[in-house]
Amino acid sequence: MWQYLTDQWDQIWFASWQHLSLVVQCTVLAAVIAIALGALCHRSHALSELANGVSAVGLTIPSFALIAILVIPFGFGVTSSVVTVTFFAILPILRNTIVGLNGVDSSLIEAARGMGMNGASRFFRVELPLAWPVILAGIRVSAQMSMGVAAITAYALGPGLGGMIFTGLSRLGGANALNSVVIAVIAVVILAQILDLVLVGLGRLTTSRGIRVSH
């Protein structure tokens, strides 16, 4: 295995970078979409229930099935991969966004309204900061889940480490087939841990001490 690692290091490094880049970009896009949807839905009980229901149903969809369906309109390659990873990444963030925003004390919102803040100011200066720890927890779950989903997108010729996994599985019993699978899986796990540590650090930088203590 060590010999395979040294011989294929450039390929492994490039595939790892592609994998991480795909997950990070899709997670950021998913966070923007999910927070916007959560902001629109959380004040309505019906819309909140609908969003939570969609999240629950969405998580039951097999990623293989979704990527296969998306190949029809988007074709093989990056677009299908981005849509698939982003779709699954949105679901935990959307649910946590609604939970976090609904958990903000209404008296604080009323106080902000009494100070003359408009709806946008109340959301960005009061509601979002208070809900941020819960939202960030959803982003962390989403990022970890997206690491695995991104590997599946190799089925549609997507970028990343999934290609090494699928190639190795397709020729198990051949030379270095198992090494390819094992090293790619280990790389995915390492990337997931690195990204989670980065998100933990981001949480400390973007959450005030008082809010961190209260949570």
Span 182-198, pLDDT tens digits? 999 999 999 999 999 99
Between the alpha carbon of residue 179 and those of residues 19, 149, 171, 184, the distances in Å are 18, 21, 11, 8
One DSSP character per residue, 36-94 reads HHHHHHTT-HHHHHHHHHHHHHHHTS-HHHHHHHHHHHH-SSHHHHHHHHHHHHHHHHH
> What is d(CA 133, CA 206) in angstroms, rounded to the nearest whole number?
9
Going from N- to C-terminal start, the domains of the chain cover: 18-214
Q: What CATH homologous superfamily does 18-214 map to?
A: MetI-like (1.10.3720.10)
Quickly count: other Cβ atoms within 10 Å of residue 104's Cβ: 19
| pTM of the model as a whole | 0.90
Instruction: Write out pLDDT tens, residues 36-82.
Output: 999 998 888 899 899 989 898 998 988 888 998 998 898 888 999 99
